[in-house]
Amino acid sequence: MVFALLAGISFSTHFLAFSQRSLRAYRVDIEAHYSSARFALSILALSLYLWPTGIYPDFPTTLRYVAFHSVSLATSLGFATTDYVLWPLFGSCGSFSSAVSSPARGRPAAVSK
């Protein structure tokens, strides 16, 4: 999942980080901040919603499945380990809406001097 999240960040941000040999490009890029906050909040909200339904035995298992499927959908990986269509309606719609409204792709990164 780490590499999928990194792949979701604009290539120009990675290029700046590698060419400057610094992590500053990630710190100043608003897209990286927005996408990481959006992933964290949507994963937490969906996990808290699905946990009481009893689909998964405990909260860490729920968190793991929701995180994997949210990252897979939002970054267009296409991987699935369970049938998330069987989740309650808000869970399915929430994971799809977070995938559709993921950060804009191809936006140029902030140029740092």
Q: Could you state, in order of their start, the residue ranges of all structural domains in the chain?
A: 2-8+31-100
Give the pLDDT confidence score for residue 95 in this predicted structure. 59
Q: Give the dihedral of Cα atoms 81, 86, 90, 93; nearest 10 deg.
A: 60
Radius of gyration of the chain (CA): 16
Is 41:74 a contact under the CB 8 Å cutoff? no
Helix (H) / strand (E) containing 35: helix 30-50
Q: What is the number of residues in the chain?
A: 113
Average pLDDT over residues 53-63: 92
What's this model's pTM, rounded to 2 decimal places? 0.70
Query: In this predicted model, what pLDDT tens digit does every residue of 1-51 receive, in sequence order?
Result: 888 888 888 888 899 999 999 889 988 988 888 888 888 888 899 899 889
Give the pLDDT confidence score for residue 61 in this predicted structure. 94
Give the pLDDT confidence score for residue 3 in this predicted structure. 87
Q: d(Cα 64, Cα 66) in Å, to the nearest integer?
A: 6
**Structure-token pair, residue 90:** 């808000």
Average pLDDT over residues 99-107: 49
